[in-house]
Amino acid sequence: DVVMTQSPLSLPVTLGQPASISCRSSQSLVYSDGNTYLNWFQQRPGQSPRRLIYKVSNRDSGVSDRFSGSGSGTDFTLKISRVEAEDVGVYYCMQATHWPITFGLGTRLEIK
Amino acid sequence: QVQLQESGPGLVKPSQTLSLTCSVSGGSISSGTYYWTWVRQPAGKGLEWIGRIYASGSTNLNPSLRSRVTISVDTSKNQFSLKLSSVTAADTAVYYCARSECTNGVCSPSTYWGQGTLVTVSS
């Protein structure tokens, strides 16, 4: 299985400051069709996961433009330009390029 | 607006079979190029993809659970189900159902998830 390694595991951030989460995969996530199937999910406390970003850098409908995704191959990043209180939760990267789908262990974002 | 809702027993005894159903509303389970997916999350831990099913009944299962998992669909009821046999305490988790969307044969969970249901394995 493809191992997804996230860092940091815990991310304390001051309100209004930027945040960055790294995700590395044990294999390239480029699929045979040229797409890279790397998604980011947000899970707020007590809620279901919510997809934020798909195929590396595409924001889902309704997702704030404070969130952006980038990367290629095996290295990916989720950035939040200015952290707000509602961003508290756990963020997961997930790959769907290789069978089976695998998730990172998650990065817990908290407000300092 | 598509909504998914899990249902089933919250307590299962060790060695027995866990059974959950996901009811889909706001859209037909048979429409579109969607797979219907199960994901679980042990308390305080990350997400584990269990498997998925297409409306035709075609399934893909995580190899780590394949020997114990059955996923089925009932299009007449707009539901799909999960059965996990020979459960142990390690199967205690919140179980989510979700809709997966597909591009060029690659499918992944997207926007629509159920609220999750906690299943505890204990005698």
Per-residue pLDDT tens over the stretch A79-90 = 999 999 999 999
Question: CA neighbours within 13 Å on the CB side: how many for B83?
Answer: 8
Arithmetic mean of pLDDT over chain A:
97
- Bridge partner residues of B107 (DSSP): B102
Going by pLDDT thresholds of 50, 70 and 90, the confidence category of residue A37 is: very high
Are A51 and B63 an interchain contact pair (Cβ–Cβ within 8 Å)? Answer: no
Residue carrying the six token digits 């597909």:
B102
Per-residue pLDDT tens over the stretch B11-66 = 999 999 999 999 999 999 998 789 999 999 998 888 999 999 999 999 999 999 99
Å from A11 to nearest chain B CA? 16
Å from A34 to nearest chain B CA? 10
Helix (H) or strand (E) holding B51, with range, is: strand B48-53
Å from A6 to nearest chain B CA? 12
Are B109 and A49 an interchain contact pair (Cβ–Cβ within 8 Å)? Answer: yes
Which segment of A55-64, A83-92, B29-38, B91-100 scores lowest on mean pLDDT?
Answer: B29-38
Going by pLDDT thresholds of 50, 70 and 90, the confidence category of residue A103 is: very high
Are B46 and A100 an interchain contact pair (Cβ–Cβ within 8 Å)? Answer: no
Sheet with A75-80, strands from edge to edge, namely A4-7, A19-25, A75-80, A67-72
DSSP label of A30: B
Distance CA A47, CA B22 (A): 17
Contact present, B87 and B18 (Cβ < 8 Å): yes
Contact present, B110 and B48 (Cβ < 8 Å): no
CB nearest A97 (choices: B47, B48, B106): B106
Contacts of A33 in chain B (CB under 8 A): 103-104, 106
